[in-house]
Structure 1
Amino acid sequence: MDEDIEKPQGLALEWIEGDMPYSTTFGDHFYCRSDGRAECGHVFLAGNGLPDRWQNGEPFRIGELGFGTGLNFCETFRQWRDAGSPCPLHFTSFELFPMDSATIDKALSRWPEIEAEHRALVAAWPDRREGLIRIDFDDRLRLDVVVGDAGANLGESDSLFDAWYLDGFAPSRNPAMWSAELMQAVHDHTAPGGTFATYAAAGFVRRNLQAAGFAVERPPGFAGKREMLKGRRA
């Protein structure tokens, strides 16, 4: 790792192909090796019916498990802006090990499509990364990153989210991020008619989401992956 980039506390990183972060703590990549940005669009945005759901002008809240490099936020920011969406957007992510700005900058540098969003995120990212990180990009776009244990912090939240991005490390690598208790908390913090999407398709993840109360579908995954999961709260 470059000596001028600080490691997130408690999370060991290596770099693959120069600019792709790999967690040696969890033994997993932060995003799809073929094209993480395209995967985000296929799984998280399209899986939640976005950007179409942004056209009614009503405030929209996205919840995310696992902020990581901020890739999902930046791609969402880009699509929201490109769609000329009339709705205010509030993006809240729950992250145990927030990266420093230099690591985020390096990890997102491979995608010129999100350069403007990536630069805006890095410029506003604080040196002190604990508690609540809140960034207002303008009067219609807010990012909150809640630092700490996702289950505990979500349990204390009174927010209801219109869409969820479930993007923890792979279920086999980090099963706590996909536990029945956390999936129940996600369901309980989903607005009526709200949705979720995830690249994960493990059987226990699907069963935990169904047990929590979601109607779950298994559409084709990204880049030839057989399945992903998406669903809706009744």
Structure 2
Amino acid sequence: MSEHQPDLTWRDGGIPVSTRFDDPYFSLDNGLAETQHVFLAGNDLPARFVPDFHIAELGFGTGLNLLTAWMAWDEAASEGQLRFTSFEAFPMAAADMELALKAFPELERYAKRLVAAYAEDPSLATLEGVNAQMVSGDARQTLKMMDFEADAWFLDGFSPAKNPELWDGDLIKQVGIHTKPGGSAATYTAAGFVRRNLADAGFEVSRVSGFGRKRHMTRCWKVAT
């Protein structure tokens, strides 16, 4: 895994920034609140949770989104087990993940379990309490080989201007293929080409209020056919 690990710098004592993409892994204002606004509220969660609800994600990063969804699932006392499938081209070292997640004491009991399981097996095969899988490699190649339809997607790649590969039209079409009819997707970006790619992938797309300094974000729903 080491040859694919990201090159990091650290900002404000604990916020990892990718030197490859010159972009922080989470909001400089409040990463947990951003995840709750963009990815939970953007997908109408936890209100839509049903037994064995399946979230898929582009951009695993620090694991913050997984932990936020996991905590929300537990707080909602949902039946069954949350399923979470994430795709990451440059998996972070476990020690860096542990350092980054120290910024979120609210998630500490989940973060400890995640970091321990990730250090043992980055695919998260040993993580208990949530049915999680982290798929390493280029999502443009790995997603099309997967057999699932998610209830909701967290689209959390680095900025489209700096990481256009993760917002590629063909990849977004695969997101559409791997979404249940009536399923959803949300992202912090409102870039025009991203919204067009989502529409071409079979989603009804809305631009709504973003988090913090971001004026707008995108949420969308897979058209039922």
TM interval, shorter chain, is over 0.9
Structure 1 residues 83 and 178, CA, compared in 2 at 3 Å: closer, same or farther? same
Give the count of matched residue pairs: 223
Paired residue for 1:86? Answer: 79
2-structure distance, mates of 1:208, 1:171: 12
CA contact (8 A) 1:135 1:144 kept: no
SS of the residue aligned with 1:93?
Answer: strand
- Identity over aligned residues, as a percent? 45
2-structure distance, mates of 1:212, 1:224: 28
Any unmatched runs of 5+ in structure 1? Answer: 1-5
Q: Kindly state the Cα deviation for residue 8 of structure 1 after the two structures are TM-superposed.
A: 6.8
Paired residue for 1:102? Answer: 95
Letter in 2 for 1:35: N
SS of the residue aligned with 1:223?
Answer: coil
Paired residue for 1:164? Answer: 153
Paired residue for 1:117? Answer: 110
Question: TM-score, normalised on structure 1?
Answer: 0.91
1-structure distance, mates of 2:80, 2:182: 17
Letter in 2 for 1:185: Q
- What are the equivalent positions in structure 2 for 1:122-141 lying under 5 Å apart? 122-127=115-120, 129=122, 132-138=123-129, 141=130
CA contact (8 A) 2:114 2:127 kept: no
Matched, 1:49 2:38: no
Letter in 2 for 1:125: Y
1-structure distance, mates of 2:71, 2:124: 20
Any unmatched runs of 5+ in structure 2? Answer: none
SS of the residue aligned with 2:154?
Answer: strand
Paired residue for 2:192? Answer: 203
Letter in 2 for 1:67: F
Q: Kindly state the Cα deviation for residue 87 of structure 1 after the two structures are TM-superposed.
A: 3.7
Paired residue for 1:3? Answer: none
Q: Kindly state the Cα deviation for residue 29 of structure 1 after the two structures are TM-superposed.
A: 0.6
2-structure distance, mates of 1:33, 1:119: 22
Q: State which drifts further: 83-92 or 152-161.
A: 83-92
SS of the residue aligned with 1:218?
Answer: strand
CA contact (8 A) 2:57 2:85 kept: yes
Letter in 1 for 2:185: F
Q: State which drifts further: 215-224 or 119-128.
A: 119-128
Question: TM-score, normalised on structure 2?
Answer: 0.94
Matched, 1:231 2:220: yes
